[in-house]
Amino acid sequence: MTPGDRMTNDAALDAVVSGTSDDPCAVLGRHRVVADGQAALVIRTLQPAASEVQLVTADRVFGMQRKRREGLFEAIVRLDARTPEDLAYRFRVREGALTRDVIDPYQFGRILSDVDVHLFGEGTHYRMWERLGAHRVTIGAVEGVHFAVWAPNAQRVSVIGDFNRWDGRTHVMRRLVPSGIWELFIPDLADGEGYKFEVRTHAGHLLHKADPYARCFEVPPRTASVIWTDGGYQWRDQEWMRDRASRDGWRERPMSVYEVHPGSWQRVPEEGDRFQTYRELADALVPYVREMGFTHIELMPIMEHPFSGSWGYQVVGFFAPTSRFGTPDDFRYFVDQCHMHGIGVILDWVPGHFPKDGHGLAQFDGTALYEHADPRKGEHQEWGTLVFNYGRDEVRSFLFSNALFWLEAFHIDGLRVDAVASMLYLDYSRQAGEWLPNQFGGRENLEAASFLRQLNTLTHGRVPGTVTIAEESTAWPAVSRPAYVGGLGFSYKWNMGWMNDILRYAKEDPVHRRYHHGELTFSLLYAFTENFVLPFSHDEVVHGKGSMLSKMPGDTWQKHARLRALYGYMYGHPGKKLLFMGCEFGQWREWDHDTSLDWHLLDDRLHASLRRWVQDLNRVYQREPSLHEVDFDGAGFQWIDCQDHENSVISMLRRARDPGDCTIVVTNFTPVPRQGYRIGVPEAGRYREILNSDSDIYGGSNVGNAGGVDAEAHPSHGFTHSISMAVPPLGSVLLKK
């Protein structure tokens, strides 16, 4: 070596041992040099805890010289016939009384391809979960884990874990210029090892960050990512998946969704009130949902989140099912069981914001990387969270990949996108002067709208048969219309207007309801402008709003009767259905994420009867095409009488694609039975009473029509025929010819 080389290397060596080097590959590992006029290899390693290190090849052992007291060791091996330039070797490291063999990660070259890096950088890599993060790979005969992370403004990035005593100097990653991606292959790491990335900022601060693409995490409150190898689970839902891929008519199929918070649906009280695992939920929740007649389970976010009180809506591990309930394969088992029982799985997905936890995405490399730098665009003041930068290509790659990951790797059937309104409006929950207008001076977040259009185009195109659902509470147009006609491209939109109107109406004392009749009927003025889902979600049974049952006025019997009538009206109204867990049997208290549902209430006849009513509504809803087949077209709906505000009775006609197949829904929102109540019907014949919420089996007073009623040639409500029927108090009746 020349003196100049020694001086350069001295500075580089000092940077490596001090943890400030951004190019460890220039120092560590194997390098060709000229020593005393002869070609040689210089091989270096940093082993801070070692008292001695030897270099071991296939046929020789070399002592290594300590070059720095911090644990930098070096050996020079002359190149000859026994020593090729690509010499394979390992280190024998003595630490106290223990000796272990270590394969040098710096003898391996770059792994990520230029194509991967390019597509990620332009926002069009849609399977980035297969490239970034921690992945088990084999290079030659050596098995290990390839780590890769995006941190373009970091001074250096290291992998830290128990395997290196969480020392960021030991496994410094290779920077891939100019992408901002860092990578390193570390041999001989086992699944279950905890790890993080140590990010050194240009200001010299050390940040310990969880892997944004990690597949698994420690159980909170611990925060490390965990090495996990996918590929071992044997799916058994092939028939479901084949059928799903061929489905074009989701809009014409019944969709009755049971919304679930996995941590509080049903705990295990005899074992310290612990959570049920994914596998226990599969064996208990899935048969229950099938028995109840729901077509789908919607899970509140199961992506890893540090704070249970966020209900999962403040995500840190976007690619990891929370370890609170088991492993990723345990969650696959849950989805598999759902599919084998004929139940679809929808996940709440949160691309609108993320928390500020120090180990998460916030200020990931010391700069605003995933979020906007300006808090007027980058911070949700109401929630104390940060907003994704939808205009940054690498962030779009992250989010697009994440959506497709759940649909493909976990066979999820749909994503309910949370808080879409907060994404679409720059002034969402902000006062004047606290937000920045778009380039045209408006309040619309054009980057977010573009992101959502591309998201929906991707998911519908790449994973046929899956759906996306927008929780969107404003009048943004065409949310559930295709992107190619200017819509946002969602399959469905939650009908928050209907939900607010009907709950306001339901809370009114019956004597006053005649003055609020418009709240009952207004939703039909816009019912077919979007593909709506009618939600009674978790948001309506928390924060002082009361449970669904406690919202109803009157005594206990009347509360149950009113809730049955409300559900009957809901199932007759156009739109898919969603009901939060516990609402099906009349939970009295508000939902509490820290405790189980009050299953003991089912010992009471009224609560058990309410559950049976919901069960039978689901059964009839699925059986009758007229109740689900034409949900989003006016041809599937007709008022019989929407103007009887004096009696607070409403009657409607639902039609299937076959216009001769129809169901009549009549609901009385007062406690007064209506005998001889006349409504028009489409044709002559006998109209069978297929459901009556006032039946004794549902806890009612048994006011009904003895199984059916005959039509008379008596014109009414624009029809040539009519029936004179008994409409029960606080009751909903479904009739079919």
pLDDT in tens, 191-212: 999 999 999 999 999 999 999 9
pLDDT tier at 80 (50, 70, 90 boundaries)?
Answer: confident
Of 72, 103, 134, which one is at a domain's C-terminal end?
Answer: 103
Q: Tokens 């849609």 appear where?
A: 126
Q: DSSP class of residue 326?
A: -
**Residues 69, 169: one domain?**
no
> What 3-state class would DSSP assign to 453?
helix
Note whether 226 and 218 are within 8 A (CB): yes
- Enter the pTM of the model: 0.95
Residue of 183, 394, 471, 530 marked active site? 471
Question: 24, 367, 49, 386: which is closest to 205 by C-alpha?
Answer: 367
Q: Tokens 């949370």 appear where?
A: 418
What is the Cα–Cα distance from 573 to 135, expressed in whole angstroms?
49
**Can you give 264-316 as a three-state secondary structure string?**
CCCCEHHHCCECCCHHHHHHHHHHHHHHHCCCEEEECCCEECCCHHHCCCCCC
Q: Which residues make Cβ contacts (< 8 Å) with residue 49, sequence separation at least 6?
A: 71, 95, 165
| pLDDT given at position 7 | 37
Q: Which residues make Cβ contacts (< 8 Å) with residue 543, sequence separation at least 6?
A: 590
Domain assignment present for residue 462? The answer is no
pLDDT tier at 5 (50, 70, 90 boundaries)?
Answer: very low
> What 3-state class would DSSP assign to 402?
helix
Pull the structure tokens for residue 594: 């820290």
CA 188 to chain CA mean position, Å = 33
Pull the structure tokens for residue 483: 């992107």
Domain assignment present for residue 370? The answer is no
What is the Cα–Cα distance from 220 to 207, expressed in whole angstroms?
19
**With 60 as the cut, is the pLDDT of residue 45 above it?**
yes
| pLDDT given at position 190 | 94
**Residues 142, 195: one domain?**
yes
Q: What radius of gyration do the chain's Cα atoms show?
A: 32
Q: How does pLDDT run across 517-538, given as a tens digit for each residue? A: 999 999 999 999 999 999 999 9
Note whether 561 and 730 are within 8 A (CB): yes
Domain enclosing residue 214, as ranges:
114-226
Structural domain tally of the chain?
Answer: 3
Strands 532-536 and 492-494: parallel
Chain mean pLDDT for the chain: 95
**With 80 as the cut, is the pLDDT of residue 181 above it?**
yes
Q: How does pLDDT run across 308-334, given as a tens digit for each residue? A: 999 999 999 999 999 999 999 999 999
Q: Which residues make Cβ contacts (< 8 Å) with residue 80, sequence separation at least 6?
A: none
Domain assignment present for residue 640? The answer is yes
Residue of 330, 418, 501, 689 marked active site? 418
Q: DSSP class of residue 591?
A: P
Of 210, 226, 242, which one is at a domain's C-terminal end?
Answer: 226
310 — phi, psi (to 5°)? -80, -5
548 — phi, psi (to 5°)? -60, -40
What is the Cα–Cα distance from 153 to 134, expressed in whole angstroms?
21
| pLDDT given at position 232 | 86
Domain assignment present for residue 726? The answer is yes
**With 70 as the cut, is the pLDDT of residue 31 above it?**
yes
Mean pLDDT of 609-629: 98
Of 103, 122, 142, which one is at a domain's C-terminal end?
Answer: 103
What is the Cα–Cα distance from 95 to 76, expressed in whole angstroms?
22
What is the Cα–Cα distance from 691 to 596, expressed in whole angstroms?
31
Strands 576-580 and 637-641: unpaired
Query: 725 has which bridge partners?
Result: 677
**Percentage of residues in the chain with pLDDT exceeding 70?**
99
Residue type, 278: Y
Note whether 674 and 726 are within 8 A (CB): yes
Q: Which residues make Cβ contacts (< 8 Å) with residue 299, sequence separation at least 6?
A: 260, 261, 262, 345, 346, 347, 348
Q: What is the CATH number of the domain that holds 639?
A: 2.60.40.1180
pLDDT tier at 36 (50, 70, 90 boundaries)?
Answer: confident
380 — phi, psi (to 5°)? -90, 105
Q: How does pLDDT run across 94-103, given as a tens digit for each residue? A: 999 999 999 9
Q: Name the region of 482 (left: φ>0; alpha: ψ -120 to 50; beta: rest).
A: beta
Mean pLDDT of 464-471: 96
Note whether 404 and 411 are within 8 A (CB): no
Q: How does pLDDT run across 652-705, given as a tens digit for each residue? A: 999 999 989 999 999 999 999 999 999 999 999 999 999 999 999 999 999 999
What is the Cα–Cα distance from 228 to 643, expressed in whole angstroms?
61
What is the Cα–Cα distance from 242 to 411, expressed in whole angstroms?
11
| pLDDT given at position 604 | 98
Note whether 488 and 452 are within 8 A (CB): yes
**Residues 221, 118: one domain?**
yes
**Residues 138, 185: one domain?**
yes
Q: DSSP class of residue 141?
A: T
Q: What is the CATH number of the domain that holds 36?
A: 2.60.40.10
Q: How long, in residues, is the chain?
A: 737
What is the Cα–Cα distance from 263 to 305, expressed in whole angstroms?
13
**Alpha-carbon torsion (430, 489, 404, 218), positive or negative:** positive
pLDDT tier at 3 (50, 70, 90 boundaries)?
Answer: very low
Give, in order, the Cα–Cα distances in Å from 735 to each of 584, 637, 645, 709.
23, 15, 22, 9
Domain assignment present for residue 250? The answer is no
| pLDDT given at position 2 | 40
Domain assignment present for residue 369? The answer is no
Pull the structure tokens for residue 350: 């949160």
363 — phi, psi (to 5°)? 45, 50
**Residues 136, 83: one domain?**
no
Question: Catalytic site residue 471?
Answer: yes
Q: Which residues make Cβ contacts (< 8 Å) with residue 81, sequence separation at least 6?
A: none
**With 70 as the cut, is the pLDDT of residue 4 above it?**
no
**Can you give 155-222 as a three-state secondary structure string?**
CEEEEEEHHHCCCCCCCECEEECCCCEEEEEEECCCCCCEEEEEEECCCCCEEEECCCCCCCECCCCC
Domain assignment present for residue 678? The answer is yes
**With 70 as the cut, is the pLDDT of residue 38 above it?**
yes
Query: 641 has which bridge partners?
Result: 651
**Residues 95, 118: one domain?**
no
What is the Cα–Cα distance from 341 to 286, expressed in whole angstroms?
7
| pLDDT given at position 1 | 41
Query: 45 has which bridge partners?
Result: 73
Domain assignment present for residue 168? The answer is yes
How buried is residue 550: exposed, middle or buried, by Cβ count under 10 Å (0-12/13-18/19+)? middle
Q: Tokens 């090892």 appear where?
A: 193
